[in-house]
């Protein structure tokens, strides 16, 4: 099944797995250099992209890559590889921007890692283009249409972020990824391309 994924989707998964291996080999110094630090002495501009290829642990990596496996391929086939990569990058960068704003406002000193910002952008796009597609929840195992699943997930992230629940999870980065993805899709539609089309 993996071999049948479009090339950019496959590359995202492979790069994330390879970087996780590098994290294990080089240790904390590698992760700390490329994680997204709050604005301050440890922040570097490259981190707004590199953080999205790092993960805190194997479970974190597996859940994010499972989501990429489930949703990215359909979108890449719909849009084409180049436009898909533009969308994914915009979601990652928007998530980073949202996280930087929030960590600055809260005075946080902790870095952020993970592909979740890009993943939440993919979720939003999948719900917009395939709203009636069924997505099976893990807990409980109930199938929901994509539009409802993503809407509920977005609301949950907003509530958890506002109430500062589930410490250690970058809820506003997730929402930033969704907003970045929404902005890209809106721009495409204003250009007269309702499904994203191809370059």
- pLDDT, one tens digit per residue, over 112-126 is 999 999 999 999 999
Q: Is residue 136 part of a domain?
A: yes
* pTM: predicted TM-score of the whole model, two decimal places: 0.92
- Domain interval for residue 68: 2-190
Contact 157, 171 (CB under 8 A): yes
Reduced 3-state DSSP string for 161-196: HHCCCCCCCCHHHHHHHHHHHHHHHHHHHHCCCCCC
Q: Is residue 197 part of a domain?
A: no
Q: Is residue 40 part of a domain?
A: yes
| Number of structural domains in the chain | 1
Quick check: 197 pLDDT over 50? Answer: no
Q: Is residue 155 part of a domain?
A: yes
Q: Is residue 65 part of a domain?
A: yes
Q: Is residue 199 part of a domain?
A: no
- pLDDT, one tens digit per residue, over 149-189 is 999 989 989 998 888 877 778 999 999 999 999 999 999 99
Of 35-39, 92-96, 168-172, the range with the lowest mean pLDDT is 168-172
Q: Is residue 181 part of a domain?
A: yes
């Amino acid at each position: 099944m993996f071999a049948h994924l479009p090339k950019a989707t496959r590359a995202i998964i492979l790069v994330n797995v390879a970087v996780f291996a590098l994290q294990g080999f080089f240790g904390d110094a590698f992760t700390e250099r490329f994680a997204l630090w709050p604005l301050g002495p440890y922040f570097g501009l490259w981190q707004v992209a590199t953080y999205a290829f790092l993960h805190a642990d194997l479970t974190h990596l597996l859940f994010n890559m499972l989501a990429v496996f489930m949703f990215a391929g359909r979108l890449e086939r719909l849009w084409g590889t180049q436009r898909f990569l533009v969308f994914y990058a915009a979601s990652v960068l928007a998530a980073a921007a949202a996280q930087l704003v929030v960590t600055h406002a809260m005075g946080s000193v902790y870095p952020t890692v993970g592909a979740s910002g890009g993943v939440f952008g993919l979720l939003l796009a999948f719900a917009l283009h395939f709203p009636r597609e069924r997505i099976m929840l893990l807990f409980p195992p109930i199938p929901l249409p994509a539009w409802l699943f993503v809407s509920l997930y977005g609301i949950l992230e907003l509530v958890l972020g506002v109430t500062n629940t589930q410490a250690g999870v970058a809820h506003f980065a997730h929402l930033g990824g969704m907003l970045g993805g929404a902005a890209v899709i809106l721009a495409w539609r204003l250009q007269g391309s309702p499904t994203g089309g191809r370059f």
